Structure 1
Amino acid sequence: MSVRHRKVKQALEMFCNLHHELMVQYEASQLGNFKSKSKLLIRAAMCMKRDNQWENSQKRVGHVLGIEVGDQFRYRVELNIIGLHKQFSNGIDYMGRGRNSLATSIVVTNRYNNIRKSRDALVYTGHGGNPNNTWYSVSACDQKLAQGMALKNSMDAKSPVRVILKVREKSHGVENCSSRRSHCLLVYDGLYLVTNMTHEKGVFKFTLNRILEQPQSCVALKDDVTGNADNSKNFESVGKGFIDGTKCGNIGRFINHSCSPNLHAKNIVYDHNDKNLPHKMLFAVKDIPAEL
């Protein structure tokens, strides 16, 4: 892990801990709606900004130091903290103004009927009122080429744009997020080039193609299993539910086979005093974010 990647991870861990501290200060009833949760997330992020604890504070085109393709994030505000996308709600981030602006990144959600045509291509609907919106209470109105001007300028200049996909978390991976209420993640999918812009009734649409020779992120376009998978016995465990450590080694080495391992096995004696027969307990090395 590089020094910059470690700093990004540390900033995210700091945000997680601060957010948790703020949560315990509020009653559960105060965190029962979406707006209250969002305000608390932003408050934690702004506390870090006040103390100069954000990473990659300067906007830039291209990859961001310390962030790799495929990195996943739980909250939109985390993108601000690490400099991947410095907008709390707008889908298009940019640098410069007017005709001199360039898009730095976009967040692709289903809010404005964005279409992922394939693993390496998508159609992004510009920011603004969208008559096709069905999940959000946004009044239907024609879009204006405001922040979208940065995407047009990026197309003309052949300037790369970072793409972050909002996807639904799954037990065996992630897939496109199709509902506001789904439990979603944000995945950095790499750099794209804007190759075309069209103006249809009420909306601007931008076609983006992924730049070649980049690592693939783990975003699935559809389920790997079709048909009556619920009744399949292919996923039933075989054996007695335990392994022989003398033959297979410490189980922790299987769980810790990760770029960011978080498991620590420790010998614990709590119901007798024989240190030769300890209980094996598993602990998290770093904090695990609480589910909201």
Structure 2
Amino acid sequence: MRIIRKIDFIKLLSLVIILAPALMISSCSKDDTLFDELKGTWSVRDFYTTVTATKDFSFLDMNSPQGWSGEVLENNVPVQNCVNKFYDNTSPYIAINKDIILSLGNKRLIYKNSQFDVVFNSEEAINNGNLQVEFNFMYGTNPVNLKINLQAPLKEVKTGNTLTIYGSKESLAGVPLSELRFMSPTEVRGKLTLNNILDNFSGTWSVNLDIISLNIKSTAGQVQYMQNYKFLLTESDLILSTESVYPQDRIFTNIPNENITNVIHHAKYSR
């Protein structure tokens, strides 16, 4: 009986010795394959947050992909190719078109290749989604009168519906990584925004099933940042997602917390 047990133990030990290198090779091969799919530079294309409505409500969709409604007149002529999009990732601003951008944070008008300090009630736009301003300035030797009359769209939401909110500062806070560069199966570099400051970072990454773990440090601020994200890799996109990290605070300034649940922040990247 003892001889049989000894033989069985020897067989088991031999099997472990044979399988161990194979398992290590398989693991390394899997890591290398994933790195081959991820290597390179991924730049963020969209920040957005998905929520589920717990009741019927309406809210000002400040970051609507369709932009704000209204009109913009330049010397009493409608401005062409307007998008009228509001952005509040760091300092809030409204992009009228490629030539006209109004910074609400530092009250500055960018007109073509010139900048002008302007005076207006930016809080009305930021807090209430209402922008009614008129500016007069000289562009070279030409006088310009610019009238902007815009309103953020009011969106109706029904109980149980999934709502997607694009480009908000809350989404950026949830996934503050604007660039990812996978350098090796363990090394990652890139750019992140913390406290409205864009900084470079370096560190390590690892993956377990559909969770990617980042352990990184910002270059200038020397801030250690460790976070797990659910990730999805498609043919053209890399999507990182995480549940809201501030469930006790007001998640969105224009939506009460009790109106929403399942708050998940996302960032979509492309190469």
- Pairwise TM-score range, normalised by the shorter structure: under 0.3
- For CA contacts below 8 A with separation 6 or more, give which structure has more relative contact order: 2
TM-score by length of 2: 0.21
**Structure with higher strand content:** 2
TM-score by length of 1: 0.20
**Structure with higher helix content:** 1
- Point out the structure with max Rg over C-alpha: 2
